[in-house]
Structure formats: structure tokens, C-alpha cells
Amino acid sequence: MHIIRLLLAASLVFYASAQTTDSSQTDSASASATATAADYATSGISYADDSSTITLSNSATISDISSAMATANATAAASSSASGNGTRSSSSPTQTLLVGTAQTTTTLNGTVTGTATRNTTASSTTTSIQPTNTVPCNGHPDFCQRKFSNITYVAAHNSPFVRQGNLAANQQLDVESQLNDGIRMLQFQTHLVNGTMYLCHTSCELLNAGTLEDYLSTVTKWLRAHPYDVVTVLMGNDDVVDPHNYTSPVIASGLIDFVYTPPTVPMPLDSWPTLAEMIFGNHRAVVMLDYQANQTAIPWLLDEFSQMWETPFSPTDRAFPCTADRPPDRPRENRLDRMYMANHNLNLQVDLAGISLLVPFFPLLNETNAITGYGSAGVAVSNCTEMWTRPPNFLLVDYYNIGSFNGSIFQVAADANNVTYNRDSCCGTAGTQSAAATNRLRLSGGIDTKMVFGLIVGLVWFLV
């Protein structure tokens, strides 16, 4: 039976590799894991009680960082005044100022528009001139003085799973391209195989993107080359294993040098530091685990559902209702004081012989990742903002580079953040080909024969 499964998995790999000329894209079928139709763990899971606050040890001391920033800024201001220059530049990244511009009076979390609030820089009543930004934070100077919890980030759903033609793929461009284009949350599934943590979608026989350590090493390399960016890594513990299985990949990859450790669990919205504080302290990687995280034992491995909540995962409804899903049974006042993620990756549900499969709805990507129109990300963010008085912190999407124009999803986030977006900055080396890639996934009747072939192979694999 196992041999038959491997043969079927190999046939799917052959099908996927036939769609690309790059032999390095071939999936490995050497590892195995239990196959499920869900995109996250559905059994053996539990949610922590976040009704009381726990103070963590070894946390980032933001008050000390703020004090150091104030001292540095005062010194820089004095130096600027002596030279008759209102700003200061330096060839040393460690001396770059990451502080606010002139302040004006607004509401606490932004400019109120109707019943909803857009993300923007929180301000005080002072109008005194402050030292200006010399380097943007996450690509925008305005973000430096905003709290991490007061920004909308674009998140790549199943970031590592880049396989042209493969049933289990969710992205077209690799993680380095994703980060270069502006993705600031990387989300994915993990599976423990023979003591090693792998990045596998549903099953390592279906799509194996390599080890977690190798993937995080690429992320770490990017962080070292981009010292003014903050990235969130959200890992799915699909095998519901002990969280200590994640410490070795984080340490060995070097990502441990950048992890942010919060002072408490949970973290209310106002407790999060500003991006400038995180950058100044070099705590630029927020690492989360969906299930089994234990922050008293591993303070830097954040328990996702204590720190934020999600709308329904793997959505199939084009209306994308902004109702709270995981964790369940939380009062509204609790959710209003936590970050949240809007899952905006439209799926096609296929039920065959009692097996339910969810695959990305390719033909509608141009509309799903668009700014306007029914089922668009722009409308979804607007609905969420009205319902929860603020935009989502994370906008989780498939094939982020495809939309009403290349990278339109970043325009949606920029609108939520009340900043500008350069449409010419996206996406990767394949961005100009995104529309053609989408069209190749369609037939005149709207049915994708490649998808159907993959579904048949996958179905047989599940049934054997």
C-alpha cells in the first residue's frame, strides 16, 4: 500500500515538474506524513486561557530601548543644531535616527472615517518639531513611530509552497522575492519527520519544500541585509508536537539573533512596541506558533491565539465575512484589544467520495486580490474595519503578486495604513507574467484541467 502511495505521489510530482523547465522545482517524496484534507491541525488542539496576564522573563526591555533612543536622539539633535542642519545622516546603520516627525493632534489610533478607524501614527498634543526620519521602517517613514499592532501587513499564505502546477502550491515567487516585494508575514505548515521539522503542505509526499531550518536561514539572511525591517513568522504546528521541536531550527538558522520577546502574554494592543523600538533593539522577528506554544518555557515563541485571533480559515465564501473564528468563545471586548488576521485566500472546495479538498481558486485571483469589487481584498478590509473599528493587522493571501494589477494587494494594505504605495515596485522577476500565468490556469469553460488532474491523483492517494 505504501509503495502505491509513493507511486501516486511520484506521478503528481511528475505532473508538477512537467509544467516547469526548472528541474530544481521537483518535489521530494522521500519523507512521509499523515495526510489530512485540512490546512491546519484539527485534533489534539487546545487554546490557552488568556483572561489573565503572565509576565515573561528574558523579555525585551522596551523602556530601556526607549530611554536609549531618547538619549541618542537628544545627542543627535544637539549635534544637528551645532551644525545648523535639521537632519542628520550617517554611513553607520546603528546611528540612523528612527524617530517621528512633527506631531499633530489626531485620535489615538488614527483618523476616524465614519464608524471606522484607519491605521496611522498615534500622536500627542505637542506641535514641537522632532528629529526627522532618515530611514523608513518596513518601507515607510510613517511606520517608525507606530506600534507594531497599529499596522496592516500583507501575509503570504503557505509562503514556502512554490511549485508551478502543483495542487498544493499557494505562491508563485520564492520567499526572498516575497520579502523584497513587501510581504511582512510568512505563514506556513510544518511536519515533524524522523526528528526533523519539514515544510510540507498537507503531506510531505504531496509537497515538500525542504527543512524549516533552511527556510529560516534564508529569512535570516534577508533580515541581516535589511536592518530596518520587521518580519512576522507564523508557523502551523500541524502534527501538534512539543514546541521545543522548533527551537533548534530557529537557533541553527540564526533567526534567534532577531527574535522579539514580549514582556507579557497576552499582549494588549497598546502594549506592543513601535517599529522604531523593535528595530533599535534588533528584535525584528516576531515568531508565532498556532498550537502548543508555551511562552513561560520559550518566551520568544509566541502563542498565536493568545496574541491575536483570525477570521475563518481556508474561506470558500467570496463575501469573506469578518467574523471571529479561532480562538473560539472569546468576548468581543477581548478581541477588540488584540491583533487580528483576515484570511483572504479564496478556496475551491471539492467533495469526492467523501473526501473534502480545498485548493486555491485560481480563476478569481484577479478579483480576490483586487482593491475594489465584490470579493476583493479592498472591500474585505473595509468591512472588517467597520466591524472591528480598525483594519486587520495581517491580510493573508494566496499568489500575492496576482491581482487587478501586479501587487494590488499591497495597495489595499497601503490604503488601510494611510500611506502611499509605489505600484512599480512589484513583483519579483515573474510579476509581469502574472496575468498570463493566471490565464494559463483557465479554459474557456472555466475548468482547470491541470487542477482536475491533480485532484484525481490526490483523491486516489487519499483513498489507497
Q: Where are the beta strands (DSSP E) in 290-380?
A: 301-303, 308-310, 339-343, 347-352, 355-360
Per the rule left: phi > 0, alpha: psi between -120 and 50, beta: everything else, 256 is alpha
Cα 220 to Cα 285: distance, rounded to the nearest angstrom = 9
Element (H, E) at 324: none
Cα 392 to Cα 264: distance, rounded to the nearest angstrom = 22
CB atoms near residue 183 (< 10 Å): 26
Cα 189 to Cα 239: distance, rounded to the nearest angstrom = 9
Q: Is 226 annotated in the active site?
A: no
Catalytic residue among 191, 201, 283, 344: 201
Cα 45 to Cα 292: distance, rounded to the nearest angstrom = 8
Torsion of CA 227, 232, 233, 237, to 10 degrees: 160
Catalytic residue among 140, 157, 283, 344: 157
Cα 72 to Cα 67: distance, rounded to the nearest angstrom = 9
State the amino acid at position 318 in one-letter form. Answer: R
* Grid coordinates of 455: 485532484
Cα 229 to Cα 279: distance, rounded to the nearest angstrom = 7
Q: Is 201 annotated in the active site?
A: yes
Question: Where are the alpha helices (H) located in 392-433, listed in sequence order?
Answer: 408-417
Residues known to be catalytic: 157, 201
